[in-house]
Chains A and B, each alone.
Chain A
């Protein structure tokens, strides 16, 4: 097991190196020049040339990449071209809202989606099943921002229960913190609920058709015990896998959600940086996202041992 984890972590380093190179190359090739953005609308070629030289953007690709890599090895993700603030500081400012939003969404989604999927599978073919599946289709089909606007209009503008936008730090009070996360989490969680509920239902239906489930029922176990104690645990592996894969979905969804609810998170930091060609931020954030994604998938793989003791690493 430990050898497996070490092997996976080592492979993560290789993945990250590839990501670093690809991201840097893509940004180098992408049209756009931060010097032109900095200079503003009222600028001349000379203004832009001076800024170009100051930022070292006129140097060859390999020199720029080498300098960035060297700094990376020393734990320095660079400095924002625009704000002159260290990228680590900018990410540090933004990490809390994104982590809070992602965790809240995960919790809400799992707490809602897994029971929905189990119930739909247990009542397969009934109106309840069809209702859950219809909700699921709706969740997939309606874009996050549409849900978000409906929630804002209903719960913030009409009912005045929850704030429209913004984020409060956890240290400013749990209730204030939570109030600012409810609508974004629900908006972002809807698609995730749909995804997990469908996967749970399909996986449960598969397991419920197995002989040992019929045996358990024949032995007189209560339906609840059969569903939760025997079926759900065995149906969990595909569900956990989809939850792990869905982290990418969450990250991309967080960009939209953070924009609509004006949450100062990593998603918005990334979009703003892309629009302005603030290369050090884009590179730093993508590296971190990649690392998180790789590690989440490692955790998912490791969790298989818990759900299925036959799996060994």
Chain B
């Protein structure tokens, strides 16, 4: 009996000691004395490959760990980033690039010409502008480990703009062995040469992504400007903490458990603005733009007059309020190219401006011969920006006397259903809404929704040879004035053909604790240069 009780006591003592050790054990070593930036991203990071997907969260992840040959700055100028110097031959057919000294991948290997060539070739298989560049590319050739050349079949004035493309897909540079992966197969090794390293062991999809400072990174000397300039990292570690519930995210920021919330829903702005320890700011100079996209394969929106009718009916101010909640967070933008960028203009936009003319819209609907065909608007209730636009459009179309069926599901269902080329009776659709960030709509090169390539193009399958011709003219323009004129022509045709109706330009503000400084004003949340006191 005595022995048993002694044994029991000693077992108890062992367990108690174990529990006490656990209770008193210090948190992981990384937390001690390190500056950790805790950031709530706009979405959950699921896919690590910024080439196979255009998802913005993956693009942002790309900016953390990869670097680019060139980058666009706040003045829309292309600046060298990984490239030290470059030149263009007199016949404008050969670019020669030389890499900066000291560029190294996270696995310790130096960045070589072969890595850059393989990365750009993979990117060019997926990205629309990359594909355009590939059409005129004769060859990429490594001169030596630090110098490589791009030989063109004919002059392509947008070559550097393409290599400095700021949004999806961004031509990030990866090691050659990874960049050789098939362009539609996800890479599994997230190794770049960027300012942060990805800590794969700590990645919990749906919850947390961890990056640590890349101590081998050699930043440029210039001050940061968008994704150009010096990428100086001023924290030791960045944690992306994905909090799906916005009320919880607001509470976490209020309580100081996180430092920065990338995108606030409009209804929570007043809640956070009351806290003096939090700054609510618009750091995105370009914002995003909403759109009403039609299905061009079936009536009624295969008729140009039906689409034009909406130009006279849509009031962008309503959409600003619906999406952004407050006129301060958005404004009408009567342009197919992001307002505030060099190619934006109001050429051809007269039907969208001024007092809304529902009678004119009704007249156009009558001229289009509308026979009461059902208009199916597909929407996603888990995407507030999509759903608020859908509700407004459905209401507007009903006011115009159209037969509207608003079918709401989730985003996963919407993006699957919009691939359907069937009529609405067989699961097809007539209208869907979406939104894109400003950098994705700045020119005819990147605005894929303004194209007219038909069945090969974006969902809706708009077909218009004229807009494609005008786009080619724009690509061929060699100076700024010519480019602007050609872009105006594309836009004028777009307002005639109406590939989609722009609904508003809006900004989702960001919020961060006031002990942060150095937040970069840019259309993408960039986490270098940020200091935490």
Contacts and interface: CB of A to CB of B under 8 A. Distances in A.
B254 A262 contact: no
Interface in A206-263: 259-262
Interface in A8-51: 31-33, 36-48, 50-51
Contacts of A51: 52, 184
B481 interface: no
B243 interface: yes
A47 B52 CA distance: 9
Nearest to A39: B53
A300 interface: no
Contact of B188 (A36, A84, A153): A84
Interface in B1-53: 19, 22-28, 44, 46-48, 52-53
B349 to A, nearest CB: 24
B412 A157 contact: no
Contacts, number: 150
B166 to A, nearest CB: 14
Interface of A is mostly: helix
Interface residues of A, number: 56
Contact of B251 (A45, A153, A174, A276): A153
A165 B412 contact: no
Given A80-B205, A149-B247, A171-B25, A275 B411 contact: yes
B134 to A, nearest CB: 15
Contact of A262 (B28, B168, B207, B416): B207
B245 interface: yes
Contact of A32 (B47, B55, B412): B412
A275 B25 CA distance: 38
A201 interface: no
A290 interface: no
A173 B411 contact: no
Interface stretch (A68-76, A118-126, A264-272): A264-272
A277 B53 contact: no
A88 interface: no
A262 B240 CA distance: 13
B291 to A, nearest CB: 11
A262 B412 contact: no
B170 to A, nearest CB: 12
A291 to B, nearest CB: 22
A308 B312 CA distance: 78
Contacts of A297: none
Contacts of B44: 272
Interface in B412-441: 412-413, 415-419, 434, 436, 440
B255 A83 contact: no
Contact of A47 (B23, B184, B186, B409): B184
A176 B27 contact: yes
A31 B417 contact: yes
A45 B456 CA distance: 7
B416 A33 contact: yes
A182 interface: no
Nearest to B185: A54
A85 interface: yes
A171 B26 CA distance: 9
Of listed B26, B28, B243, residue having the most chain A CB within 10 A: B243
Contacts of B340: none
B7 to A, nearest CB: 25
Contact of A164 (B47, B207, B255): B255
Given A42-B54, A42-B168, A54-B184, A82 B19 contact: no
B419 A45 contact: yes
A262 B205 contact: no
Given A41-B54, A42-B436, A262-B245, A156 B251 contact: yes
Given A54-B184, A157-B255, A173-B22, 15 more contacts: A36-B412, A39-B53, A44-B456, A45-B419, A85-B205, A93-B204, A149-B247, A164-B255, A165-B257, A173-B23, A174-B22, A264-B206, A264-B207, A272-B205, A277-B416
The 9 closest A-B pairs by CB, nearest first: A264-B207, A40-B54, A174-B23, A82-B46, A33-B416, A42-B54, A50-B184, A262-B243, A164-B251
Interface of B: 19, 22-28, 44, 46-48, 52-55, 126, 168, 184-186, 188, 204-208, 241-245, 247-248, 251-252, 254-255, 257, 382, 409-413, 415-419, 434, 436, 440, 448, 455-459
9 contacts: A45-B419, A45-B456, A163-B255, A164-B248, A164-B257, A166-B257, A173-B27, A262-B244, A264-B204
